[in-house]
Amino acid sequence: MADFAGFEPLNAKTLPQRLGQLPALLDTAGGPAENWQVREVGDGNLNLVFIVEGSAGTVIVKQALPYVRLVGDSWPLPLKRSFFEHKALTRQEERDPGSVPRILHFDGEQAIIVMEFLTPHVILRRAFIDGRQMPRASRDLGLFLARTLFRGSDLAMPPRERKEELAVFADNVELCDITENLVFSDPYFDAKLNRHTSPELDGIVAQLRADRDVKVEAQVMKHLFANKNETLLHGDLHTGSVMVTETETRVIDPEFAFYGPMAFDVGVLLSNFWMSYFSQSGHGERGAMQAYLLNGVDEIWTTFRAEFSRLWRGERNGILYQRTLFEDQGDHLGSEQALSRVLAEIWTDALGFAGCEMHRRILGLAHNADFETIDDSAVRARCETKALKLGRQLLVGRRHIHSVSEVNDLAEQLEKEIVR
């Protein structure tokens, strides 16, 4: 999977010339291509994204660039991440049908994925910043987590297939490297790419970086992230990777996909709900929105547990916790005892990952719009401080926190203590 010498970035002018003959595009957008309206709208950190509007409809054209867009060509990043994104989207569609955008065309050499234009969907993070409650998101995300994580693992897959997928995604080295550094290491020392809302946060930042337990536990989480190759993860499941309407939820951008611990996707997602919770007071009077978000965490986890348990009972056909030893011996409780253990471990680890995600989004390179869109830096700093503190508690105390409501209570206490 080398990068290709013939790679050319698209632009609004060349796109119709280059892609205008593809039946998949012409069918959906409608011809002729020279009449297409093309806008580049990529606001992420890595890629080009075009909206292509034709006479019959609209499509999205996503193209990877050979470097990190946020940083520039001083940070090269292989085009093959497009291959991993495409493969992950395909797997996610198999495992949770309807959960991702429909793929219309894939070109590995040009790192181009053409997909369904989602409308009237909005980015979930944007909705939260605007104070909009999206009624389906939490439930759908709980289902997405359970189905993709369970069905990509040794709980469900034939071992040869799972090991082959593990090997394929083990090549997504550079994207894993980003997470390994930006999430688990950089935030905990004075790394070059770090930045934070200054100077109001200097105190707590210094405190966290001097906190031995925080550093050790963050490294324990990194150890898990890098070495527990349990299932195919989305790899970057924050609220910016989710598009929603009132009735529908789609998960996008799985270019960080690789075989890692189930708890990572769970923890990152919950973390972004809690961060949104702490950001709300920076955007206005948001009592109802805050309650919605804490309730959302509860709904994600409850749905995840229920769906994971359903799959455990009905689709556990892999090599782990085989029926042969439990149900086939009439020992249903044995299988339930094992299920409790597995879920408890996912929960504990998810809290650790959630803590790291909170820290890195405030102290590291890539920040969250939830906080960034708060103009007053003193207000923003107070919101971020709460998240940093909760993050520390989750990371270091995770083994002794047993329910969502304990975390939500902690969040509410922090919200009261550190007032606007």
Does position 333 interact with a copy of itself (CB under 8 A)? The reply is yes
Closer to a copy of itself at the Cβ: 92 or 229?
Answer: 229
Stretch that binds a copy of itself, among 35-43, 288-296, 327-335, 404-412 (CB under 8 A): 327-335
Closer to a copy of itself at the Cβ: 230 or 415?
Answer: 230
Does position 109 interact with a copy of itself (CB under 8 A)? The reply is no
Least Cβ distance, residue 7 to a copy of itself (angstroms): 21
Closer to a copy of itself at the Cβ: 56 or 170?
Answer: 170
Alpha-carbon gap, residue 391 to 275, rounded angstroms: 10
Does position 338 interact with a copy of itself (CB under 8 A)? The reply is yes
Does position 227 interact with a copy of itself (CB under 8 A)? The reply is yes
Closest CA to 263 of 361, 176, 354, 393: 354
Decide if 19 contacts 25 (C-beta within 8 A). yes
By the 10 Å C-beta count (0-12 exposed, 13-18 middle, 19+ buried), 284 is classed as exposed
Beta-carbon contacts of residue 354 (< 8 Å; ≥ 6 apart): 267, 268, 270, 271, 274, 391, 394
Q: What are residue 260's DSSP bridge partners? A: 231
Does position 311 interact with a copy of itself (CB under 8 A)? The reply is no
Total number of residues that touch a copy of itself (CB under 8 A): 51
Q: What is the residue type of 99?
A: S
Alpha-carbon gap, residue 15 to 59, rounded angstroms: 12
Alpha-carbon gap, residue 175 to 399, rounded angstroms: 29
Site for a copy of itself in 260-279 (CB under 8 A): none
Near a copy of itself by CB under 8 A: residue from 66, 108, 131, 334: 334
The backbone torsions φ and ψ at residue 258, rounded to the nearest 5 degrees and listed phi first, read -165, 170
Does position 154 interact with a copy of itself (CB under 8 A)? The reply is yes
Near a copy of itself by CB under 8 A: residue from 93, 107, 116, 171: 171
Near a copy of itself by CB under 8 A: residue from 12, 51, 226, 291: 226
Near a copy of itself by CB under 8 A: residue from 102, 105, 163, 367: 163
Helix locations, 67-136, DSSP H: 81-95, 124-129
Give residue for tokens 């100077």. 199
Stretch that binds a copy of itself, among 66-74, 209-217, 301-309, 372-380 (CB under 8 A): 209-217
- For 224, other C-beta atoms within 10 Å of its C-beta total 18
- What does the block give as tokens for 102? 């429909």
Does position 45 interact with a copy of itself (CB under 8 A)? The reply is no
Closer to a copy of itself at the Cβ: 259 or 278?
Answer: 259
Does position 94 interact with a copy of itself (CB under 8 A)? The reply is no
Least Cβ distance, residue 403 to a copy of itself (angstroms): 22
Packing angle of the helix pair 262-279, 287-315 (nearest 10 deg): 170
Does position 222 interact with a copy of itself (CB under 8 A)? The reply is yes
Site for a copy of itself in 74-93 (CB under 8 A): none
Near a copy of itself by CB under 8 A: residue from 228, 305, 313, 367: 228
- What does the block give as tokens for 331? 């020992």
DSSP 8: -
Does position 343 interact with a copy of itself (CB under 8 A)? The reply is no
Does position 192 interact with a copy of itself (CB under 8 A)? The reply is no
Near a copy of itself by CB under 8 A: residue from 164, 202, 246, 372: 164
Decide if 148 contacts 303 (C-beta within 8 A). no
DSSP letters, 310-364, are HHHHHH--SSTT-GGGTGGGT-HHHHHHHHHHHHHHHHHHHHHHHHHHHHHHHHS
- What does the block give as tokens for 256? 């960080």
Interaction site with a copy of itself (CB under 8 A): 153-154, 159-160, 163-164, 166-168, 170-171, 173, 176-177, 180-181, 185, 188-189, 191, 209, 212-213, 215-216, 218-220, 222-223, 226-230, 319-322, 324-326, 328-329, 331, 333-334, 337-338, 341-342
